[in-house]
Amino acid sequence: MYCIIPESDDPFFNLAIEEILLKNSEDEYLLLGINNPSVIIGKHQSANKEVNTKFLFEKNIPVIRRISGGGTVFHDKGNLNFTFIRQSESGKQVDFRKNTQPVIDFLVSSGIDAKFEGKNDIKVGGFKISGNAEHIHRNRVLHHGTLLFSSSLGILRNSIRKDKSCYATRAVDSNPSSVMNLNEKLTIFHDIYEFRKEMMHYFLKTWPDTKAYKLQGSETEEALSLAETKYKSWEWNYAYGPEYIFRNNFQLDGKLHSCSLSVKDGIIIKCTIEGSEKMAYLANKLATCRHMVNDMQMVFNEGKINITEEEIFNFF
């Protein structure tokens, strides 16, 4: 197995390089990455349903879809992402215990009483420190995991949507849990970078035939291209998700309004707004518009309807 510490903190690139190594190689890898603030959703989720759209828009935090399933997670410079890419046997490919146990063993060796709990979590004292997801490609498996070391838990909580009652969809739901940072109990490491370095050393010395690996120029170029064409694209991050219906009631110009948006492939295909004639008229204009803040704001502006930056989020 090759151990890789990506030199990039760009979540778009780091997700892309994982896909490149999964699909274009037969080797096995462990990647230990640290990303800039971002919200990573599962392959089969609806982006706007899972995230606090207003908060992320205001903070300029991107939403990125990964190729593995599961729920939504928050990345920042206090979160260590571990990714196993391994060969697998048919019928035994999805195995969360197999791919979390090495990480649990490392944590235990560092003095942390970590346990595998539920379907795919690592917890300490009942608090979640790691969420995990997997993706199968032919005879290979990609296992994504997070490790909360010193993450901003306030931003994490504000980034994830709490009330999803406005959304009706068959998309996969996230399962929220009480979380904690490892540095609350793990004081032997000065920071997350020292923690990562020690974790890599642990695998290099305890796993046979494991060595450090640096990405080749061709792999980096492919990943940069894939990041641009796929992981930064609206088509992948928003349009790919399952169709949904959004409904909400809100006050506008002192009147109670209600709206219903049917969204398919990221596009509003049907819209009704009740409460005033001008908004009812504009509902027709919103059909064929992307369910994105800037796109909807443009339609309102063209219709000469004053919608403040705050009010636009009534539609999310």
Q: Is residue 94 scored above 90 in pLDDT?
A: no
Q: Do residues 242 and 265 lie in contact, with contact meaning Cβ atoms separated by under 8 Å? A: no
Distance CA 71, CA 68 (A): 9
Q: What's the confidence (pLDDT) of residue 176? A: 81
Helix axes 96-109, 192-206, angle to 10 degrees: 110
Tell me the pLDDT tens digit for each residue of 16-52: 999 999 999 999 999 999 999 999 999 999 999 999 9
* Cα angle: 92, vertex 97, 102; to 5 degrees: 115
Nearest CA-CA partner of 305 in 284, 288, 290: 284
C-beta of residue 143 within 8 angstroms of C-beta of residue 83:
yes
pLDDT-derived band of residue 303, with 50, 70 and 90 as boundaries? confident
Q: Report angle CA 43, 32, 185 to the nearest 5 degrees.
A: 100
Number of Cβ atoms within 10 Å of the Cβ of 208: 5
What's the pLDDT at 171? 92
Instruction: Write the pLDDT tens digit of every residue in 194-246.
Output: 999 999 999 999 998 999 999 999 999 999 999 999 999 999 999 998 999 99
List, for residues 142-195, the tens digit of each pLDDT value: 999 999 999 999 999 999 999 999 999 999 888 888 999 999 998 899 999 999
How many CB atoms are located within 10 Å of the residue 235 CB?
Answer: 11
Q: What does the chain come to in residues?
A: 316
How confident is residue 89, by pLDDT bands cut at 50, 70 and 90? Answer: confident
Structural domains present in the chain = 2-239 (3.30.930.10), 244-315 (3.30.390.50)
CA-closest candidate to residue 84, choices 106, 105, 100:
100
| Per-residue pLDDT at 304 exceeds 90 | no
Is the confidence at residue 90, as pLDDT, over 80?
A: no
Predicted confidence (pLDDT) at residue 305 exceeds the cutoff of 80: yes
